[in-house]
Amino acid sequence: MSRIVFFISEAFRALRRSAAPSIAAIVTIVVTTMLLGVLIPVLHASESKTQDVREQIGLRVFLFQDASPDEIKKLEGQIENIGHVESADFISKKEAVKILEGRVSGDLQKSIGELHGNPLPPSFNIKLDDPDNINAVRNDLEPAGQSGKPEPISPIIEEVNDARQESNQIRQVTGAVKVVLGVIAVLLLVASLLLVANTIRLSIYARRREVEVMRLVGATNWFIRWPFMIEGVLVGLAGAMIAVGILILGKVTIVDPLAESFALVDNFSTVGFAPLVIVLIASAVLVSALGSGFTLRRFLRI
């Protein structure tokens, strides 16, 4: 117990007596934590937007105009039983018109009203669990018949539309975006770690003589290491707290007002602020403390 008190007081003594390296370490941690605090939500939002786009890839199954409700019901059951199908939404003729009206405007919208009857077919909108399974689902909807030509699983299916061209492009682009985002995230993490590790190295290197003397006076490695690690915890905590303070300030003054006036910003589904803050503080403390402990190893071999 008295030993713990001793280690903590040693850590505070080190912070007090070698203020310059400690401040450098704290500043580094503030900068990297802020960087991560801003970029993690941005990356996450981009990633989830990409995912949204991918999820819109689906199949449209157009039915014949004269399909009866019973047949439609039966087909819905069949479709939902196909593997990889997440959901199948039925869109009636009326709904199709509404959707069309929502998409067009002006003269075109008027002309829809002038149509005699409703030319739009009823259809199913099939959502997939993963856009990459689109071909498998399509094959299940239209398995190859005896002649080798695809034959729909139901007589009421007029056409299965998978917008092959577009969906393939979307898949490629979003796939590339995902990879790029991943690479950026990894680079960012590595850069932050190296930056913090380097600063810690410098601050310990400045005190390597001291460590040597402690060894020569008969201190065990852990006796020397604990104060350094507690110091690392304190430095990490201080740095992360300052960074989080700035992030909260930024959120309240910049992001929140924007989110109120622009639905767009609000729509981004991103990581919650509280979990983000907790993760940032915890990792800053962990990296700083472990970094101190590991760096010290080199000087404990005397």
Contact set with other proteins (CB under 8 A): 2-3, 6, 13-14, 17-18, 209-210, 212-221, 223, 302
**H runs (alpha helix) in the chain:** 2-17, 19-55, 69-81, 93-103, 107-113, 134-141, 164-205, 208-216, 221-250, 256-261, 263-267, 273-297
Of 144 and 213, nearer to other proteins (C-beta) is: 213
Containing 8, the helix (H) or strand (E) segment is: helix 2-17
CA atoms within 13 A on the CB side of 123: 20
Of 54 and 207, nearer to other proteins (C-beta) is: 207
Q: Contact at 8 Å (CB) between 283 and 198?
A: no
Of 2 and 105, nearer to other proteins (C-beta) is: 2
Of 2 and 253, nearer to other proteins (C-beta) is: 2
Of 55 and 212, nearer to other proteins (C-beta) is: 212
Of 36 and 214, nearer to other proteins (C-beta) is: 214
Question: Shortest distance, CB of residue 37 to other proteins, whole angstroms?
Answer: 34
Q: Contact at 8 Å (CB) between 42 and 181?
A: no
Location of structure tokens 């998978």: 162
How far apart are alpha carbons 236 and 231 in whole angstroms? 8
Could you give the 3-state DSSP secondary structure of residue 158? Answer: strand
Containing 159, the helix (H) or strand (E) segment is: strand 157-161
**Burial bucket for residue 179 (CB in 10 Å: 0-12, 13-18, 19+):** exposed
Question: Shortest distance, CB of residue 204 to other proteins, whole angstroms?
Answer: 14
Q: Contact at 8 Å (CB) between 288 and 236?
A: yes
Of 64 and 223, nearer to other proteins (C-beta) is: 223
| Spatial CA neighbour of 126 closest among 72, 92, 187, 76 | 76
Q: How many CB atoms lie within 10 A of CB 32?
A: 26
Structure tokens, 170: 């979307």
